[in-house]
Structure 1
Amino acid sequence: MKKIVVLVSGGGTNLQALIDAERAGEIKNGKITCVIASRPDAYALTRAQNAGIHTRVIERKQFENAKTFSEALLAALNEEQADLVVYAGFMTIVDRLVSDVYKNRMINVHPALIPSFCGKGFYGLHVHEAALKKGVKLTGATAHFVNEVCDGGPIILQKAVEVCSNDTPETLQRRVMEEAEWKILPKAVSLFCEDKITVTDDGIAVIHQ
């Protein structure tokens, strides 16, 4: 059984999707053993505690830079013996020393179809504002491994979501979460825990059924 450590910063809706999926038996061979927050007031901590999951807080503002914060985070991940690290609304920049140690063992979900609307500055509502401004008819979400490039790691799963003519950034954000993010993140986590993902030398994630 693989140990899953989830990183959070805010409300924890993606964390809740993971908790619900685990309870439903949809995450095979994996268990959420710890939730680490970058802010002590993150509601995700309450979600974790309500589910009986061990929590930790490593507050970003207590560290002078990303490197010292990342060193503390890496130490915590090692203490928790994490097999898989999942970004679930984790809004803190982490030094590459973490992703190098946990190469192809860190998963994030991004609210767009990478390589569209991704990279520096594309987070939260900004992603959906950009999609509406561009007039795309399809958007969606991408589950991918985390590396030193923002939103640049190997793509595991993607799911498309239709853009409606009357959408606002807020309505589109909600629909992308409900129809895509909350579906593909637990699925990607389960695939990892079942040892069904390999990454080629070219950086392509291959799924084995």
Structure 2
Amino acid sequence: MAKRIAVLVSGGGTNLQALIDTQQKEGLGGGSLVAVISSKEGAYALERAKKANIPGYVVARKAFPSNQAMTQALVELLRTLNIDLVVLAGFMHILTGEIIRAYPNAILNIHPALIPSFCGPGAYGLHVHEQALAYGVKLTGATVHFVNEEADGGPIVLQKAVEVLPDDTPEVLQRRVMEEAEWRILPLAVSLFCQDRLRTEGRMVRILPPPFEI
């Protein structure tokens, strides 16, 4: 049975596009993108979904009195859609424990740094790359991890390093991290999940070999 994937977005949807492109070219391990859910009206990610014939939905943060109320609405929608895997791809709101309990080890997030560096509260978007440049690191990158109740604290699935160059600005570094890391490892992690090849043991995520075919 193909796993049904929902992608949660807030903005342009570049990582969503990477998932769409991978699904159209080689597939996502048998998984299928069946919903794109935006936290705001008019997000360009919804246009990307429309062009790919993926149903789009809006669960607007401003329509709810709290993150918890929004999270509860999201969980209801995800259950209605029979979602198996939730992917956070530039989703800019902190979700509360209801979604973690509804989807244990079934929520993937992409973070534009090598966790545990430059992560946690306040480390999102361009801020992450500003922090990396201010610290003077020679390598940064991206991380795909399972989501738990600690911001950027869930078990790590995949990481890929990216070189920091002397003349980098936050914007230039952000683009390189997306192209060289985020757009590669997020589709791969989703594919591995959909093939049932991720096993979580405490903080360790083991990647199982592909099934033997006769």
**Shorter-chain TM-score tier:** over 0.9
User: What amino acid sits opposite 1:132 in the alignment?
Assistant: L
Q: 1:125-158 CA deviation, whole Å, 9 max, x = no partner?
A: 1100000001000000000001100000010000
Question: By how many angstroms is 1:94 displaced?
Answer: 1.0
Q: Distance in 2 between matches of 1:96 and 1:131?
A: 29
Question: By how many angstroms is 1:41 displaced?
Answer: 1.3
Contact kept, 8 Å, 1:112 with 1:139, in 2: the verdict is yes
SS at match of 1:107: strand
Q: Does 1:203 align with 2:197?
A: no
Query: Which residue in the other structure is 1:109 paired with?
Result: 110
Query: Which residue in the other structure is 1:41 paired with?
Result: 42
* Counterpart mapping for 1:76-87 below 5 A: 76-87=77-88
Question: By how many angstroms is 1:203 displaced?
Answer: 2.5
Query: Which residue in the other structure is 1:128 paired with?
Result: 129
Question: By how many angstroms is 1:27 displaced?
Answer: 1.2
Query: Which residue in the other structure is 2:25 paired with?
Result: 24
Question: By how many angstroms is 1:57 displaced?
Answer: 0.5
TM-score norm. by structure 1 comes to 0.98
Query: Which residue in the other structure is 1:61 paired with?
Result: 62
* Cα root mean square deviation, aligned: 0.6
* Counterpart mapping for 1:46-195 below 5 A: 46-195=47-196
User: What amino acid sits opposite 2:207 in the alignment?
Assistant: I
Q: Distance in 2 between matches of 1:26 and 1:32?
A: 10
Q: Distance in 1 between matches of 2:140 and 2:113?
A: 6
Q: 1:20-62 CA deviation, whole Å, 9 max, x = no partner?
A: 0000114111000010000011000000000000111011100
Q: Distance in 2 between matches of 1:85 and 1:99?
A: 10
Contact kept, 8 Å, 1:137 with 1:164, in 2: the verdict is yes
Question: By how many angstroms is 1:96 displaced?
Answer: 1.2
The alignment covers a number of residue pairs equal to 208
Query: Which residue in the other structure is 2:212 paired with?
Result: none
Q: Distance in 1 between matches of 2:117 and 2:97?
A: 23
* Counterpart mapping for 1:2-17 below 5 A: 2-17=3-18
TM-score norm. by structure 2 comes to 0.96
Query: Unaligned stretches of 5+ in structure 2?
Result: 210-214
Judging changes above 3 Å, is the alpha-carbon distance between structure 1 residues 26 and 162 closer, same or farther for their aligned structure 2 residues? farther
Q: Distance in 1 between matches of 2:27 and 2:133?
A: 33
Q: Distance in 2 between matches of 1:37 and 1:143?
A: 20
Q: Distance in 1 between matches of 2:130 and 2:147?
A: 24
Contact kept, 8 Å, 1:117 with 1:127, in 2: the verdict is yes
Query: Unaligned stretches of 5+ in structure 1?
Result: none
Q: Which segment drifts farther, 74-83 or 93-102?
A: 93-102
Structure 1 consecutive aligned stretches of length 4 or more whose deviation exceeds 3 Å: none
Q: Distance in 2 between matches of 1:183 and 1:55?
A: 24
Question: By how many angstroms is 1:5 displaced?
Answer: 0.4
Contact kept, 8 Å, 1:26 with 1:186, in 2: the verdict is no
Q: Distance in 2 between matches of 1:92 and 1:42?
A: 14
User: What amino acid sits opposite 2:51 in the alignment?
Assistant: N
Identity of aligned residues (%): 57
SS at match of 2:152: coil
